[in-house]
Structure 1
């Protein structure tokens, strides 16, 4: 069903010829026309990084809410509906308000060039400024320095999750260049929580922080997190926490949880809200088990898992998670965008995958052709064929291997289609 917001969003797509065009000039112009809502936000926690931003944000939000606070949240991309990107004081923005706020931004912008992400970010900031809350959680869309979210002069806290190679066409070819873009969210005098980093990335972040006088709390120096016999043990200068593991599956979520705990401790949140940060956080399409729906019915007893990871670091995290799961014959159904390092993503999965079915991502002009995905999988050491659709791949796998573990992976855009199809 098409809604009012759908129609306005479609109009917004036509305002700029490029989907991504990193600059803040168009943001400043529209924000000025809107009365500078970015100056009127509840205290902002700004989160950048290559992997783990969304999971970390979801755990920070769960912890704040368990402590009795309200929090706005802005994330991207959405999976099934645009409304997922904007939470107002804990609840997804409703359709009438979303339509109204988008229309106001569209009218204020007029025919001036502006990207879809920029104008919708302005809409989110306008909604946040007009709705009371205790905190605002902003997830960077791409990079950091020139990202549309980087318009808040004095956030309460910044967070940088692990930085790795991705989006080279926009952020640079080296890890140092990419880290420099992520470190662009650092602000003078504003503390930053820094997750585990490669030494090269950490050097860049620390250098910029020193120039700005931004205090850092760095993994391995100021705080630590480990998995001890299935428990999460976190330590910092305040003391030790011994907590039940994160509800979000995967060993990499222990480190994301550590980053969230470091942020929450800095904000003064205490137990039991810190445990709730781990146990109550939800983040779809991150090693998510699908337990009901049409696609699960097709599987006829096979397990269906979904993950939207799409870069080499995500491939390593998924491989680590699969390696820690109970033994099962694992089959991949993979669709990716043509802007991604497909070989880098698939290579870590070769040790865990019995076979890969490659698919096109429905409705995506930048989908990698299934034949190309299959060829890359074979180059990475995975037996691979193509399939006409995810549904047909599930049917084929479940008929041949009734007790298989099926992981649908490679793209958040594919994950969103799957959640819609399985609804």
Structure 2
């Protein structure tokens, strides 16, 4: 390790923790390969992760003390985690640190990924636990394989940090969201969770990643464990349901259930699709609380669950934030299915977006994503797609770079952006072309391509009158807008 990084490790500030963490990011090519593999690139992933755990002083069985609810899926896993966390937190009292939540990605600050009772770790706590993990890895350099890096990649390191934090604080329950896939994910080293659940499996992941629905289902089903209840929502594809049932049988789970939809009830998260996520969360929480000896968990929707479901918050997902003359409609939807749900929400509930800020990953089909958004909006508002598109006073396609000078907020630094794509604004120009094709007759002068999120926010702020601004296509984009537009006060879940 170079001396400057050693000095940073000993100074223990949050900013320096983030700088060190960012040195563990993979580049764009590596991340794209991992994404396309569904997280299967490294056959040694779980063995290496267990070894990293050993090097910071733990064995896998220590993770069972966290009382884990393990959740995966291709859409809705973050919302399901948020509902589940709120339900458990409401029903578990009497300790200082009751419920831990680990999710990804973050919006504005890395510490959002690790929450205690709904609140992100403070900068001081994040730095303290981060350097405890970092210095243990620094002091114990013997790796299980010669090719294993001394320090794990970004997500693995954050997962180790989450485990260390939750063990150190003695949480009584942990909601653990999978990062990518399931079988080979860094979170999948907990030997015996209390209960496991799988959200909806999206068809567009099949199209984009080149995997079959059977591949995706089997990978997700890798979180099922022997002797542990296994749950899933009803999948759109019968083949996916069949494969998940096979995974449960092969893993020798204690039970396997396709959860029924809960009765209609108020939900704190907007969008019709959230009822599916809430149904899985209810089943996960009921199963967890039964295992803890809690009574009154037999109803399809226990009465004590109604208020927590209505009070659940999950920033950056179908979130409306009013700020002066601007109303921000924020949704990190980034698949055709989630953008369909986004469109239903964005043109429902009295919303009337007149400005769009949009970005997506370079590897995704921009026209398909924009079509899904506009088609859903047109159906919801009883309009024609072209008519709806022409109502936008401006559409802005920007990169995920935070500021106009080309740098990122340190918490939002990303090595995952292809520098060649970025320098040419290739993705953004492709999105603009797709928009103009989808909405014939739209004034090209109103379709902007800009190099940063700050450029986009400045354009909005320079417009006269009041505006509803829809921000969608990327959670990183939503987080950047929240950072630049100073909307961080809406990040809490409590």
Give the TM-score, by structure 1 length: 0.84
State which drifts further: 376-385 or 344-353: 376-385
Matched positions, count:
393
Q: Is the 8 A contact 2:457 2:481 kept in 1?
A: no
Q: Which string of whole-angstrom CA distances, capped at 9 and with x for unpartnered residues, describes residues 265-295 of structure 1? A: 2233654430123122110011111112xxx
Residue 479 (structure 2) aligns with: 416
Q: Is contact 1:47-1:57 (8 Å) kept?
A: yes
CA-CA distance at 1:213 after TM superposition: 2.6
User: How far did 1:17 drift?
Assistant: 4.9
Alignment partners' CA distance in 2, 1:202 and 1:381: 38
Q: Is 1:32 the counterpart of 2:69 in the alignment?
A: no
In 2, Cα distance between equivalents of 1:387 and 1:17: 27
CA 1:71–1:346 in 2, change beyond 3 Å: closer, same or farther?
Answer: same
Q: CA deviation at 1:6?
A: 3.0
Distance 2:316 2:174 in 1: 23
1:53 aligned residue (73, 77, 82): 77
1:194-227, Cα deviation, whole Å (9 max, x unpaired): 12312232222112112223222214xxx223xx
Tell me how far apart the structure 2 counterparts of residues 261 and 17 of structure 1 sit (CA, whole Å): 36
Please give the alpha-carbon distance, in whole angstroms, between the structure 1 residues aligned to 2:435 and 2:90.
43
Q: Say if 2:199 is the partner of 1:190.
A: no
Distance, in Å, in 2 between the alignment partners of 1:288 and 1:277 is: 18
Match of 1:333 among 350, 357, 376: 357
The structure with the greater share of residues assigned to strand is 1
2: distance between equivalents of 1:172 and 1:32?
Answer: 35
Say if 1:37 and 1:129, in contact at 8 Å, map to a contact too: no
Shift in Å at residue 168 of structure 1?
6.5
Tell me, in whole angstroms, the C-alpha distance in 1 between the residues paired with 2:167 and 2:122.
16
Per-residue CA deviations over 1:82-136 (Å, capped at 9, x if unaligned) read: 1111123554322233212212222232361521110111111011112222211
> SS at 1:324's partner residue?
coil
Residue 328 and residue 97 in structure 1: after superposition, are their counterparts in 2 closer, same or farther (change >3 A)?
Answer: closer
Structure 1 residues 53-85: Cα deviation after superposition (integer angstroms, max 9, x where no partner): 111111111111211342111011111111111
1:281 aligns with 2:318: no
Counterpart in 2 of 1:386? 448
Of the candidates 119, 124, 127, which is equivalent to residue 96 of structure 1?
Answer: 124
Q: Which has the higher contact order (CA 8 A, sep 6+)?
A: 2
The SS at the match of 1:51 is: coil
Unpaired segments ≥5 residues, structure 2:
1-10, 40-44, 139-148, 378-387, 402-407, 409-413, 487-494
Tell me if structure 2 keeps the 8 A contact 1:334–1:359. yes
Q: Aligned partners of 1:31 and 1:210: how far apart in 2?
A: 29
**Residues 358-367 or 44-53, more deviating:** 358-367
Task: Report if aligned partners of 1:60, 1:277 keep a CA contact under 8 Å in 2.
Answer: no
Q: RMSD over aligned Cα, in angstroms?
A: 2.7
Q: Does 1:347 align with 2:365?
A: no
Task: Pick the aligned partner of 2:257 from 209, 212, 217.
Answer: 217
Unaligned runs of at least 5 residues, structure 1: 226-231, 234-242
Q: Is the 8 A contact 2:336 2:373 kept in 1?
A: no
Q: 1:422 to 1:3 in 2, by over 3 A?
A: farther
Indicate the structure with greater helix content.
2
TM-score by length of 2: 0.73
The change in CA–CA distance for 1:71 and 1:37 in structure 2 (over 3 A counts) is: farther
Compared with structure 1, are the counterparts of its residues 309 and 64 closer, same or farther at alpha carbon in structure 2 (3 Å cutoff)? same
Change (3 A) 1:87 1:322: closer
The equivalent of 1:9 in structure 2 is: 18
Task: Give the Cα–Cα distance (whole angstroms) in 2 for the partners of residues 256 and 150 of structure 1.
Answer: 21
Hey, what's the Cα distance between the residues in 2 that align with 1:71 and 1:190?
20
